[in-house]
Amino acid sequence: MRFKPFQVARLFGIPLMIDYSWLPMAALHIWLVAQFWLPLKVSPPLPLWQNLLFGAGITALFFASVIGHELAHAFVARLEGIKIYDIQLHIFGGWARLVGEPGTAMAEFRVAVAGPAASFLLAIFFWLCLYTVQEFTSRTLMERAIAAGFLYLAAANLFLAMFNLLPGLPLDGGRAMRAYLWHKRGDILSATRTMSRMGVGIAYMLMSYGMFLVGYGMFRGTFWQDFVVAVWMMVLGVFLKNAAESDYRNRQRRASESTNSQRELVIAPGTVGEVMHAPAVSITPELSVSEFVDRILPKNRLVIFAVAHEGRLHGILSLGKLRELPSELWETTIIRDVMLPISEDLFVPMRASIEHAQRKLKSNQLGFLAVIDQDGFLVGSLNLSDVERAA
C-alpha cells in the first residue's frame, strides 16, 4: 500500500515533502556510515553509539545537500517563470516537481544543469571544511571523525553531481543533452526519444553491474557486503529504466494532444460543433485519484471530466461517483477504476444534430456529453444548457 508523502517544512515558499520510502533509506545510510565508513577512516575506532551519532549527522548533511541540489533546480525554474509544486525526498534521492515545463531549449538546459552545479559547489565547500579541520586542529579522535565526515560529504556531492550528469533521461545530464538536441533538431519529441533510449541503456548497465557484483562477491568471499550494493544498483536501474520510458511516453502523449488540439475542425451549421465547448481539461486513465484531487481539481471547478489517452476518449469521471470512494484509497486507486467506461450514451460526434445531442443528454443522467471528431479524437464537451440555448 502506498502512503501519501507528508510535509515537514517550507523552504522559500516551496513545500518540502518526505516520502515514506525515504525513512528506511535514511536509517540504512546512518548504519552504513557508522559501520563501514567511520571505522575505516578513524583509528582507534569510536564507540558504536558515537559512530551512530556521527552517522546521523553526516546523513542529515548529505540529505541537506540533496535538498540544495533540488532547490537549485527550483530557483532557476522560477527565474524561467515556472512554478514549483514541491520538493520530495524519496528512496532514490530527491525530486523538484515543476508545474509545467521550460518553454525553450536554453531554459531546459539552464534548469537541468543547475542541480549538478550546486552539487559541485557543495563538494568544494566540504573539501574546504576538510582542509580547515586537517590544517588548523590538533587532530584528536573526535576531530578525525569530523574530518572523515567532511571527506564523505565532499565525495558524496561530487559523485551526486557526476552521476546526475550521465547523458540519459531522467538524469540531469539527459535533460541537458535533450535541450541540446532539441535546439539542434527543433523537435523535442525526437530529442526525448534519443535521450530516453540512452537512459534505458544506462539503466541496463547499472543492473548488469549489480549482477556482476553478486558473482564477484561470492568469488572473493565478501558476498554480503557486495550484495547490498548489488541490490541497490539493480533497484536503481529498474527505477531509471521505468522513469526514462515514462518520460518519453508522457512527451509523446503531450505531443499527440497538442497535435489534436490544432486539428482543423470543419463545423457544419446546425450541428453539435456549433454549440460545443473546447474541453477545459482532460485527465488520463492512469492518473491516481490522489493526484487528481491535489493537482487537477483545485484548478478546474468542474463536476464532470473527460478521461482521454493520446487524445482518444476512454471514459467520463463524475465527482458524484468519486465521492463514494473512501479517501484512504485515493493514493492506490487510479481514474480508470472509478470512471464511467466509454459507452454510446456518453459521447456524440461533432457532426451530429443538436436535436440528437439533446435526446442523449436527457437520457444519460449526467447532462453531459463528450464530443469527438470524425477520427475519434476528443474535441469538446456539451451540456444540456448549451443545446437548450441553441434550440
What pLDDT, on the 0 to 100 scale, is given for residue 73?
Answer: 97
What pLDDT, on the 0 to 100 scale, is given for residue 153?
Answer: 97
CA dihedral for 264, 270, 273, 274, sign (positive or negative): positive
Nearest to 89 by CA among 70, 112, 103: 70
Region 31-52 average pLDDT: 89
CA dihedral for 41, 47, 48, 52, sign (positive or negative): negative
3-state secondary structure 87-137: EEEECCEEEEEEECCCCCHHHHHHHHHHHHHHHHHHHHHHHHHHHHHHHHC
For residues 265 and 295, which has the higher predicted lDDT (pLDDT)? 295
Q: Which triple of cell numbers denotes residue 9?
A: 517544512
Region 149-174 average pLDDT: 96
Checking if the pLDDT of 266 tops 70, the result is no
- The top-scoring range by mean pLDDT among 30-44, 207-221, 247-261 is 30-44
Counting residues of the chain whose pLDDT is more than 70, the rounded percentage is: 92
CA dihedral for 44, 47, 50, 55, sign (positive or negative): positive
pLDDT band at 96 (very low <50, low <70, confident <90, very high): very high
Length of the chain: 391
Q: Which triple of cell numbers denotes residue 321?
A: 461517483
Taking the domains of the chain in order of start, what are their residue ranges?
A: 1-165, 186-262, 272-390
CATH 3.10.580.10 fits 272-390, yes or no: yes
Mind listing the pLDDT tens digit for each residue in 322-349?
A: 888 888 888 888 898 999 988 888 888 8
- What integer best gives the mean pLDDT of the chain? 86
What pLDDT, on the 0 to 100 scale, is given for residue 359?
Answer: 86
Q: Are 64 and 153 in contact (CB under 8 A)?
A: no
Q: Are 93 and 70 in contact (CB under 8 A)?
A: no
Checking if the pLDDT of 156 tops 50, the result is yes
Mind listing the pLDDT tens digit for each residue in 350-382?
A: 888 888 888 888 888 788 888 888 767 888 888
What pLDDT, on the 0 to 100 scale, is given for residue 310?
Answer: 67
Cα 349 to Cα 367: distance, rounded to the nearest angstrom: 16
Checking if the pLDDT of 1 tops 50, the result is no
Q: Is 49 exposed, middle or buried (0-12, 13-18, 19+ CB in 10 A)?
A: exposed
47's CB contacts (< 8 A; 6+ apart) are none
Q: Is the peptide bond before 44 cis (omega within 30 degrees of 0)?
A: yes
